[in-house]
Structure 1
């Protein structure tokens, strides 16, 4: 069995990890002179992902891990190009009514699903109607009210309110378009738990799945409808992609540097030099959307006091912590909207350098808030109560970007200002339930999207988590009329400048009120062997698809 098709044995991967030296020096490897000028078809790519997706249905939980896989299985209705513009996907064209409430999509003909059933307006209606019938889906926030099949290849979508980000939403794997047979014959729970039911129209189809171990994708030889945003047409180059779930970073790196894997996800920043020194390649792409940030709950003590929130931010040495944990690979985020997020100019550059680490300022603000005493352990006290902050943590993501290490470093460093930070881990289901109680002081988050509206919605009242479902991504439980009003403009206006101006207003409001502490700009960091060619990222910064990837012999 070739190295590209065998499963990495856990014991072997651990053994390989133990042999690794840390952070060896060296630069990026140059492309091999033996690489052909033109792509070569065939071969199996072995790709090690950092975690297995908790849910396989992109409409239910839009995680980076499931998006990276689903983008090879499902086509999108429209395609976002590298410059942020939108091109035909499964829809060849679309029209938007003057009031922004009606979208009419003309659909591509001759497209079939992996099970051989046809793609048409009736099937698209089944997919787009899902949020109307399943109120716990993340996509309920798109405002879709009704759909109408005009004819076999035309679908009309009516909204309850204008949604300027709808086209972007339809360009992402958050809207996987399933076979109508699957939607008719299987329950939402089955779609979520079983990727063998992930039957789309994309360049790869699911051939095999072993829970907790691997997913095998095989080429869809019938694929002949790639959007123009890709580098070629027709079927994919690769015969097969074996995705293995390997949470331990050193095991992934060991597999790559020992030629047991062709590509690995989430290379830790401090291991980039090690990977490059082994002759492998590191591919990096900044995300757009929101940074990795801390969301502060202003509804309960101690963060119900603005001065305490601002003191908390001033007490975090973001630059120093990023240097210590990531070696400076990740850059500090100055705002809750990241640079490069469309439309161009949505990130307010005037915020660069506008805030930073200042222990003296933190101490002054805390004293102003009444925390004038310090207990025997060095924590600040007010009215006999220690300045304690409860940090709710979703355990699913602590391995991402070494966030557990960063979180512990932040919590430890905040003692200098007198904060007692207690990190409380929860599994994903319990985490969401915990946030609905409103008893946490702090939670961390990041969200990659290539539209400014999706970097603002996590701070709107409508996104507050509730037991009744909904998007639930406002982890700080912020309800601010000024932000809600600005989001109304961002979500409804089709004028880019109006959206940009409103987005700038929100970014200033969040920082002025201390609702969040932006930390760093997330990156997708992938390690590959020199044989791997054609790898690309989408505008969000995720791995977009294996469609253009090929292996040099």
Structure 2
């Protein structure tokens, strides 16, 4: 570990506070500030790791979403209860038969280079760009019979069959609207404009000093009058975990999110008078963490080996000692806080003896060193806690005779290797996106095995009955029948263990008390920040 003394001190503080009954996630500090937003000011925020790029249509990794969510927009955003609200679409209608969706676009919207935003951009994004580059958007738009633009301010999407979750698919990371005048007729992945993103959002790209910061500036022609309030935003790249915590402490930065702050430091920072912890803003994504397992590599292709991995891991230890209580032990592919979760699935409680029995059943006898099998483990390159998780997995699997060889890479390298199936076991967390047919099915459908595309079925998992049930559930309009389909799905998938589910993650947003209205929707820190403002010192 890079900072063992700091870790032990933080662990002692966390333990002491736990013994006195202090909540790990303290409520936000009371903020005495003006009721009326103030124009001006610079927001400084951590971004960790540094995003591989800022073109949201080409990359949907978490750091890209947080920065590019200020640059790009989609048709809708979502309240904390996941109900839709306007963004680039000011209003919409759904036909009585649930097949036709008509979106009416905002007026007076321009791209950052001054070109007008019209329905042509939406049509291009939904029919050409995103189906080629974005697996989640591809799956969503494949359900359309037709996508038309009767005029510059109207988009009409007619589905092949009912799809109850369709209206949940229009936030900025699922269907970012891309500029047709820049990308149409080009090689999207190698377009020279990929270094200078052009969106419709309240902030424009100004500068990226690799390894140091990304600077966004106010869009003076933003379509929401009087917004944004901020002059600019600096996303500071701070690779070291201790330095990120110190930057919040001393006011160098005003915001952290996701895994920016190592779990063992959260409670200490939450107690500081100039900082507040906000737990809202992750309702739409409902993140789920797992060990991803490449089924193409033996013995990982045998479900008994994958089941043995789950039995060998003490996931309560992972939650309590590595993530310091920030999460819930996962039971399967659907997060318990989202729709259609079913707890009645096979359980894999910590039981190393059952793991050993399964390995024996497979004929994996220990050699003279007690090793039954050797696997390579590529940890997610998102900070110190992920490395600690990898070290624990190595230790736990070693106890049942599975030797783990740890590999290393950076965030960009991790994404490239996993997308191209160049791994054996890795850590990952994916978002649920409000409905299983959008955020869950993409991981397990055999039709979504796409080499070179991240966050697809990169494991190579295939189960025809799972495919069938996902398709049936997606179009089922009866809520009870839909629940039944998803319940069957969860039982089948949990039996197969295509991935080893670890935690339903809970992320803290830590903000300076001078920062207001940063977390205003279920999209959280990935929102546009058009409403965010900073009170004077």
TM-score range, shorter chain: 0.7 to 0.9
Paired with 1:292 and 1:549, the residues of 2 have a C-alpha distance of 30
1:214/1:243 contact within 8 Å kept: yes
**Residues 178 and 172 (structure 1 numbering): CA distance in 2 closer, same or farther, change over 3 Å?**
closer
Q: 1:339 aligns with which of 317, 329, 336?
A: 336
2:171 aligns with 171
User: What is the TM-score normalised by the length of structure 1?
Assistant: 0.82
Q: Is the 8 A contact 2:82 2:522 kept in 1?
A: yes
1:283 aligns with 2:278: yes
Residue among 519, 532, 537 paired with 1:549: 532
Q: What is aligned with 2:37?
A: 39
Q: 3-state DSSP class of the match of 2:328?
A: coil
The reply on whether 1:315 has 2:312 as its aligned counterpart is yes
Q: Counterpart of 1:483? A: 466
Report Cα offsets for 1:416-468 as digits up to 9, x if no partner.
111112233456676567557767543332211222121122011012232xx
Question: Of 124, 127, 135, which residue of structure 2 is paired with 1:126?
Answer: 124
Alignment-derived partner of residue 444 in structure 2? 459
Please state if 1:188 is matched with 2:184.
no
1:211 corresponds in structure 2 to 210
Shift of 1:154: 1.6
Quote the residue 1:81 is aligned against. Answer: 79
Say which of 497, 509, 516 aligns to 1:526: 509
1:104 is displaced (CA, Å) by: 3.1
CA RMSD of superposed structures (Å) = 3.4
Q: Deviations over 1:84-139 (max 9, x none)?
A: 22233222333456776654322222323333322221232222233378467763
Offset at 1:530?
2.0
Correspondence 1:67-466 to 2 at 5 A: 67-96=65-94, 102-131=100-129, 134=132, 139-142=137-140, 143=142, 147-157=147-157, 164-183=164-183, 188-189=188-189, 194=194, 196=196, 198-225=197-224, 234-265=226-257, 266-279=260-273, 280-285=275-280, 288-289=285-286, 291-341=288-338, 344=339, 346-351=340-345, 354-371=347-364, 373-379=365-371, 386-393=372-379, 397-400=380-383, 402-425=385-408, 440-448=423-431, 449-453=433-437, 454-466=439-451
Map Cα deviations across residues 250-282 of structure 1 (whole Å, 9 max, x no partner). Answer: 111111111212223321110012212433222
Distance change in 2, residues 1:73/1:297 (3 Å) = closer
* Distance in 1 separating the partners of 2:187 and 2:221: 27
Q: Which runs of 5+ in 1 are unaligned?
A: 1-13, 226-232, 380-385
Task: Work out whether residues 532 and 552 of structure 1, in 8 Å CA contact, stay in contact via their aligned partners in 2.
Answer: yes
Q: 1:551 to 1:435 in 2, by over 3 A?
A: closer
TM-score (norm: length of structure 2): 0.84
Change (3 A) 1:163 1:423: farther
Q: Deviations over 1:312-336 (max 9, x none)?
A: 2111111112222122223222222
Q: Helix, strand or coil: the match of 1:475?
A: coil
1:392 Cα deviation after fit: 4.2
Q: Deviations over 1:231-251 (max 9, x none)?
A: xx7412222211112222211
C-alpha displacement of 1:34? 4.4
Q: How many residues are aligned here?
A: 515
Secondary structure of the 1:511 match is helix
Give the Cα separation in 2 of the matches to 1:433 and 1:245. Answer: 21
CA spacing shift, 1:295–1:528, aligned 2, 3 Å: same
Give distance in 2, aligned partners of 1:42 and 1:324: 42
Q: 1:404 to 1:193 in 2, by over 3 A?
A: farther
Task: Report if the CA contact (8 A) 1:36-1:552 is conserved.
Answer: yes
Could you tell me which residue of structure 2 aligns to residue 504 of structure 1?
A: 487
Give, in angstroms, the shift of residue 542 of structure 1.
5.0
Counterparts of 1:18 and 1:487, CA distance in 2: 47
Q: Deviations over 1:20-65 (max 9, x none)?
A: 9746567758746642333332211111111221122222221111
Distance 2:117 2:514 in 1: 35
Deviation at 1:479, TM superposition (A): 0.5
Distance 2:474 2:104 in 1: 24
d(CA) in 2 for partners of 1:308, 1:462: 24
Relative to structure 1, the CA distance from residue 304 to residue 29 in structure 2 (aligned partners, 3 Å threshold; closer, same or farther) is closer
SS at match of 1:42: coil
Q: 2:31, 2:513 within 8 Å by CA — same for their partners in 1?
A: no
Q: Deviations over 1:58-89 (max 9, x none)?
A: 22221111111222222221222211222332
Instruction: Verify the 8 A CA contact 1:457 1:487 in the aligned structure 2.
Output: no
2:64 is aligned to 66
Partner Cα separation in structure 2 for residue 152 and residue 323 of structure 1:
54
